[in-house]
Structure formats: C-alpha cells, structure tokens
Amino acid sequence: MQILSDKVIFLTGGSMGIGLACAKAYAAEGANVVIAATASSHISAEEVATQLGKKHHGITCDVSNSSDVERAIGQTIEKYGKIDAIHNNAGIAMPSKPLHETSDIEWQRLMDVNLKSVLFTTRFGFEELKKSKGCILNTSSLVGEIGQENHAAYTATKGAMNALTKSMALDYAPYKIRVNAVSPAGVWTTTLRNWKEEQPDPSSIEKYLDDIHPLGYCPDGDVIADACVFLLSDKARFITGTILPVSGGAELGYRAIR
Ligand SMILES: NC(=O)c1ccc[n+]([C@@H]2O[C@H](COP(=O)([O-])OP(=O)(O)OC[C@H]3O[C@@H](n4cnc5c(N)ncnc54)[C@H](O)[C@@H]3O)[C@@H](O)[C@H]2O)c1
C-alpha cells in the first residue's frame, strides 16, 4: 500500500540533497510531487520532475521571492486542483563564520531563504491547506537546538524554524492542519561531499561526521525522507508541533571517546 497515494506535495529545494531524497520517497509512495527550487543548482527542478515521472512537476522558483512563491503555488493549484502538504526544505547554510564577521547581506540572505520562505509558502498555500486539512513540514536542523561553531546566523534560522513550527501548529490546529519539523544532524549530500573533498584532510571530516552520530555513521538523505513520508502521511494524523530528530542520537549526552 502506498501511504501518500494521490496527495499533492509542494516541496521546496527538491532538486538536490535531502529534498531530492524526499521527492523520490514521496513519488514512490504515490504522491504527486511539485518541486520548487532555484535554477542555480546543477540540475533544474523541471529536469528532476521529468526524471521522477509524468505526474510530477518542477518549477524554477526562488523561495525568498514572494512573487516566485505565489506563482509556483498558483501553478500547482492550476495543475492539480489542490495541495495536501507543503514541505519547506530549501535552505542554505553559508556563511561559515561567527556572528561578528557575518555581513548584513549574508545575514539577510539566510533569513530570507531559510525563514521568510516559510512565511511565503504559508501565506499563499494556507487556503488550500484549509480545504485539504493538510500539513506543513519544515526541514530544520539539530543545530537550531544545540548550536554550532562558526554558523551562528544559520543556527538562528533553524532555532526560529523550531519556534515557528510550534506556533504554527497551535494556530492551525483548529483547521486540522498539522505542522511538524524534521531535525537532522549531518546528512551526506552532493554539496557536503564536494566540500569534504576540498578540505585539507577529507578522511578526518568523514570520521568526524560519522562520530557525531552515536549510531555510528553519517547517513544519506533517505533516512530523513523516510521520516518525512511518515510525518506527511495519515499515519501521523495525531502528531503536530513536533520537532523530530532524525539524527542517530546526535543530541544525546556525554559519550566515551572511541
Ligand atoms: N545536509 C545536512 O547535513 C543538513 C543537516 C541538517 C539540516 N539540513 C537542512 O536540510 C535542508 C536541505 O539541505 P541539503 O543539505 O539537502 O542542501 P543542498 O544544498 O544539497 O540542496 C539544497 C536545495 O535547496 C534549493 N535551494 C537553495 N536555495 C534556494 C532558494 N533560494 N529557493 C529555492 N530553492 C533553493 C537548491 O536548489 C537545492 O534543491 C536545508 O534546509 C538544510 O538546512 C541539512
């Protein structure tokens, strides 16, 4: 049985990394997937949708741009007649700097892409979610709760996303709209793999990323996607306002040196 059969899922940042793994998992579970992602990534949203299959749709869209998001959601409704879920996954993690070195432009870009995008998808998708009694899923990060060296502005966006998830869950519960977040620690993506190869000692990066997860390895996006499938499905029908760590236990306490 496919647990997302015929659901229409509007997924931001679905052309690469975690989002691409989610797009594949949603499609495998019977959903119609709409991928909204920037043109700057090495594969376009349209190309990914074509690879996924005929019933899926790709839209080039900058989630930090209000009119882009309005157009993408409008196209989705025009094509499918409804939206069952919005997955706010698009995100950037740069710059890698402490706060005092972060420029106004860098700060603003992080806030706009990672956070203001949620305002836009909610603003333009809310009426449809009301009709479908649908759900919203946010891709947060464990660092929004525990912090991270050299990524203060990024972690602030994810801490805010956690707070937003809970407040939105309360505001939208009367409409039977569920709002949840997944919170990964490290996840191997093309971007992360390329970055690792550029570092002076790539194997130490790999060991570090394995070691932060007590379960012993840094996963690929499929583990996040499986949790997302669950949260968007009716099997999670009584779950709202949760920030689900999908982290191999990375948030757990003191550990022995291995
Ligand atoms: N990879 C990790 O280790 C990790 C860990 C925790 C949380 N996350 C979060 O997971 C999400 C996905 O990250 P990833 O690692 O898969 O990244 P990635 O760089 O592999 O992919 C990012 C995706 O977002 C899209 N995107 C970027 N800016 C956009 C914009 N302005 N408008 C529309 N689309 C845009 C890109 O086109 C791409 O599809 C992000 O929110 C990130 O913060 C990642």
CA 44 to centroid of ligand 1, rounded, Å = 14
Whether 88 contacts 36, CB under 8 Å: no
CA atoms within 13 A on the CB side of 190: 9
State which ligand 1 atom lies nearest to the alpha carbon of 224: 10
> Which residues does a 6 A CB cutoff place in the pocket of ligand 1?
12-13, 15-19, 37-38, 41, 61-64, 89-93, 113, 139, 141, 184, 186-187, 189, 191-192
Given the residues 154, 175, 208, 217, the one annotated as active site: 154
CA 149 to chain centre: 21
Q: 92, 93, 148, 90: which is closest to 117 by C-alpha?
A: 90
Separation of alpha carbons 29 and 26, rounded Å: 5
> Can you give the pLDDT at residue 242?
98
Structural domains of the chain ordered from first start: 8-187+220-246 (3.40.50.720)
Q: CB within 8 A of 10, min separation 6: which ones?
A: 34, 36, 72, 73, 76, 83, 85, 86, 87, 121, 125
Separation of alpha carbons 96 and 117, rounded Å: 21
Q: CB within 8 A of 31, min separation 6: which ones?
A: 4, 5, 6, 7, 8, 9, 84, 232
Instruction: Examine the residue annotation and report whether 154 is marked as an active-site residue of this protein.
Output: yes
Q: Tens place of pLDDT for every residue, the chain, 258 residues? A: 899 999 999 999 999 999 999 999 999 999 999 999 998 667 999 999 999 999 999 999 999 999 999 999 999 999 999 999 999 999 999 999 999 999 999 999 999 999 999 999 999 999 999 999 999 999 999 999 999 999 999 999 999 999 999 999 999 999 999 999 999 999 999 989 988 898 889 999 999 999 999 999 999 999 999 999 999 999 999 999 999 999 999 999 998 877
CA 174 to centroid of ligand 1, rounded, Å = 31
**Ligand 1 pocket test, candidate residues 108, 139, 246, most atoms within 8 A of CB:** 139
- The residue to which tokens 């805010």 are assigned: 160
* pLDDT tens, position by position, 177-223: 999 999 999 999 998 998 889 888 999 999 999 999 999 999 999 99
> Can you give the pLDDT at residue 41?
60
The reported pTM is 0.98
